[in-house]
Structure 1
């Protein structure tokens, strides 16, 4: 029987997700009904910005952008760390009817310029810490001042807007965001998301975790990525919660628990690499009974091994919920449910949340329960395609379904387990090996903190299995012990032929393992 799973319908009497139509009115209900409630806690001084003040700043920015001749459906970039400037720019541009493209401030200027040009942005709103603004369009510096009394002001000088046709010609007033997928400037794809996509995603996230005005979080993940933007920022503000923006707009393990206590956080979301950092430092830094009581901890954007999940739950005293999503699905597609709302199945990424999930084999034929195939997603959060890339659009988006490129299987209860990524598979003499599976085993070895598995070219087998592992400080485990551990738990052809203990692994700006860098560094 085909395994087609629809999202469960939440008991409407228990929780109602927020009402909104997109980015334009996301703040409106809170600004109207709870104007003086905290929306943001900002920077090292941790000054509070209310919903009323945030909405007023956004309206100010919208008026200035509109006065500069920008029209509904025009694209603008936002280039900033996780600061008040990013949030005000985002909502200000949205209220002006513009389409916002969040940009990674850590990218080299050449890559930033390539993305701005490919999109055809009419200008870029720039916040701290960006200093170099040699972009192909006007950079419009934006600064937000917030006093301890809660008063706020914005400084923005909107100069002449550029006229670059490019991909922006495909946008309309129905669009809210353009998100860039991971990749180099030449390969990063542009994903247009409508206000309908945004609304569905935010409501699904709020409903999954039953977020409300009593909830608060710390912005760990960057807002230029869907993980930080949708899950931490938009879902929190739409549901009336509060978001702390760390000093300099960046995650810091050193100040993280102080930030959590300062905002009385009830949850946070991060990639596994950051969870590992917090876990490794917990003996010295986790405040124990002084930590705010957490409803849950969320993990997304990369596989989380079950050993780490169990250790995090024991240390932080809260359930760790794994979720799965991608840029093309407006972030979240599946998640483990809250305790009491469904079974928690470690090793899975939960059930669909407001979308349908299908696992298919060759020819797009749905696989039976428990059989591995490619994960496809369909629903109101799925984008219509890529800007300026008809070939990739026709390949990835098929009859309303998004081909994710991820491998997985569904169980009888509709829970999805991911087993790897099609493009990452290692072909060792015809045996297909998922690096993610081998990494999960390696990470379970006592003393191993992180692991990366990659293909090593081989004249006989085509490819062999290579691995680079990071050992926790003070642990005496060596390569021979790690390989013995693997031989007891992996098929013979899956055991790494080459294993190297290294000091650190490369990660992308979004917090995922940088597999290209791993391959270049360790495979030759």
Structure 2
């Protein structure tokens, strides 16, 4: 079946509406495409995307037209409303246009990490019941593609485009018949817009359903909290197939009429970051602490010219999410960029953002947006941007302000459970509340602070030790670029604290210096009993520390004791 790449918007609308089923009514809430089209109506000529190595702008009206064209091609290829379609692409125009087109055609999108092994891509496609896999570029013909039908998507932004009236065009193909519907995830609903897979760093990946309402509520809350609008622009630092990059950077920007630069090659580059920020006129960016550290290291290695510093000073704010932010990183970012640093907390099961520190100050009178205040409040991630947050003890009783307990969430952005696994849903959801597995405290004013993961606490002779707390202390050493802390078996205490550090090339600390440094900042039982050095630490695809991989890799290696 060969799709027609020149469908007009009106023809596409008629074609899609003709295939609407009673199970997928238009009243299910605003789709992703609806959110973006509403913004496009207000700023049709404004740049929505800046793409490719040439940093070519794509205006809102052109982006919507490309999405309409591709939606028509997907329908012509045999996909119907409610079908699942996997999307494997980098942070590029193909990802964005395919996402909007699939939404326009009432399909359920399943984003995949391109770096996943082929067998894992295939397993996720099969679990979601995907009928096609959209890929950026030609499908591989070496037998290494997943068994699902791969359909290449190509967005042309140069003068070689095939559209008669514009150099911008999108083409799907060659295509085969869609994969037959062999399975549908248990629990899938008509109002589901996307199926996200959890990272799987603490167990097997789980399928998380995002409804249209989940996404719209999350996007609108982020826009309102950070006051995003057509005057704002950002660089897609985080990959778009994860909630951090998808919801916070891409969709919140596009739904507010701003501009997103998609880096050359479809992935973040510290080498081009400054020029990318300048090219789009960035007013903010969001990343995980690891990437903030990479950027700071690069800035330290470059000459601090006044023009470069003036360019960096134009940011309204810097956002950090997906992992703990150390005091040293907060202060260094604020010094380099002369912008407030905001710390947010998010998770896939809550459609990304849950809480954030504010630009103008917290609700209990402090100003966590300032580097000094946030640095003095380790783990602070601010007030809720929508979900109800509770701190619950092991006995199921809500804890008073200041007490440590498990963070529970419920609200419009919190999903209903996991697809295909009622047992794991029952274990993690209680009467509409999501049990996050994270430990935290709430201030009297409702400010949340993260204290670690329940499953990652180190039990040393009955003393419960948070790896994040120990990491935060060690990260303050001037010779430490990155650190990971984990528990190792101990014949006397059951577990002891182990640390792996990535030293700065110019100032590698001695083991004695590290131990002495810890004595002034940690309780005696929290000080690592052993240290190792490494050139790098394993990270998840979204850039956060992969603790399970750290323990597996370094827990078996000889330890250098400092008991």
TM-score (normalised: structure 2): 0.87
- Report the secondary structure of 1:49's partner residue: strand
Q: Superposition RMSD on alpha carbons, in Å? A: 1.8
What is residue 153 of structure 2 aligned with on the other side? 142
Q: Does 1:330 align with 2:330?
A: no
Q: Does 1:62 align with 2:61?
A: no
Q: Which runs of 4+ in 1 moved over 6 A?
A: none
What is residue 154 of structure 1 aligned with on the other side? 170
Q: Is the 8 A contact 1:41 1:49 kept in 2?
A: yes
- 1:74-223 paired onto structure 2 within 5 Å: 74-128=83-137, 131=140, 134-147=145-158, 151-157=167-173, 158-168=175-185, 170-183=187-200, 187-223=204-240
- Cα deviation digits, residues 277-297 of structure 1 (max 9, x gap): 111111244621133600000
- Cα deviation digits, residues 257-292 of structure 1 (max 9, x gap): 000000000000000000001111112446211336
Cα distance in 2, alignment partners of residues 21 and 292 from structure 1: 36
Q: Does 1:29 align with 2:42?
A: no
What is residue 494 of structure 2 aligned with on the other side? 462
Gaps of 5+ in 1: 1-19
Q: Does 1:427 align with 2:438?
A: no
What is residue 411 of structure 1 aligned with on the other side? 443
Deviation at 1:107, TM superposition (A): 0.7
Q: Is the 8 A contact 1:81 1:128 kept in 2?
A: no
Q: Does 1:252 align with 2:269?
A: yes
Deviation at 1:168, TM superposition (A): 3.5
Deviation at 1:32, TM superposition (A): 2.0
Deviation at 1:473, TM superposition (A): 1.8
Q: Is the 8 A contact 1:375 1:407 kept in 2?
A: yes
- Cα deviation digits, residues 177-233 of structure 1 (max 9, x gap): 111101179810010000000000000110110000000000000011000000000
Moved more, 212-221 or 388-397: 388-397
Gaps of 5+ in 2: 1-28, 160-164, 557-563
Cα distance in 1, alignment partners of residues 93 and 139 from structure 2: 14
Q: Does 1:46 align with 2:63?
A: no
Deviation at 1:130, TM superposition (A): 7.0
Closer, same or farther in 2 for the Cα pair 1:125/1:292, shift >3 Å?
farther
Closer, same or farther in 2 for the Cα pair 1:167/1:484, shift >3 Å?
farther
Cα distance in 1, alignment partners of residues 489 and 361 from structure 2: 48
- Cα deviation digits, residues 314-348 of structure 1 (max 9, x gap): 11100110000100000000001112575315131
Cα distance in 1, alignment partners of residues 81 and 352 from structure 2: 25
Q: Does 1:263 align with 2:280?
A: yes
* Match for residue 328 of structure 2 among 282, 287, 307: 307
- 1:441-460 paired onto structure 2 within 5 Å: 441-460=473-492
- Report the secondary structure of 2:252's partner residue: helix
Closer, same or farther in 2 for the Cα pair 1:249/1:353, shift >3 Å?
same
What is residue 15 of structure 1 aligned with on the other side? none
Larger of the two Rg values belongs to structure: 2
What is residue 390 of structure 1 aligned with on the other side? 422
Cα distance in 1, alignment partners of residues 91 and 283 from structure 2: 20
- Report the secondary structure of 1:420's partner residue: strand
Cα distance in 2, alignment partners of residues 150 and 63 from structure 1: 18
Tell me the number of residue pairs that the alignment of Structure 1 and Structure 2 aligns: 505
- Cα deviation digits, residues 330-382 of structure 1 (max 9, x gap): 00000011125753151310100011111110232110000000001111001
What is residue 521 of structure 1 aligned with on the other side? 553
Cα distance in 1, alignment partners of residues 203 and 442 from structure 2: 35
Q: Is the 8 A contact 1:296 1:319 kept in 2?
A: yes
Q: Is the 8 A contact 2:439 2:454 kept in 1?
A: yes
What is residue 229 of structure 1 aligned with on the other side? 246
Deviation at 1:110, TM superposition (A): 1.1
What is residue 517 of structure 2 aligned with on the other side? 485
Higher RCO by CA contacts (8 Å cutoff, separation 6 or greater): 1
Cα distance in 2, alignment partners of residues 405 and 156 from structure 1: 42
Q: Is the 8 A contact 2:477 2:517 kept in 1?
A: yes
What is residue 279 of structure 1 aligned with on the other side? 296
* Match for residue 342 of structure 2 among 321, 326, 335: 321
Deviation at 1:476, TM superposition (A): 4.2
Q: Is the 8 A contact 1:50 1:150 kept in 2?
A: no
What is residue 13 of structure 2 aligned with on the other side? none
Deviation at 1:395, TM superposition (A): 1.2
Cα distance in 2, alignment partners of residues 493 and 186 from structure 1: 29
Cα distance in 1, alignment partners of residues 145 and 154 from structure 2: 19
Q: Does 1:242 align with 2:253?
A: no
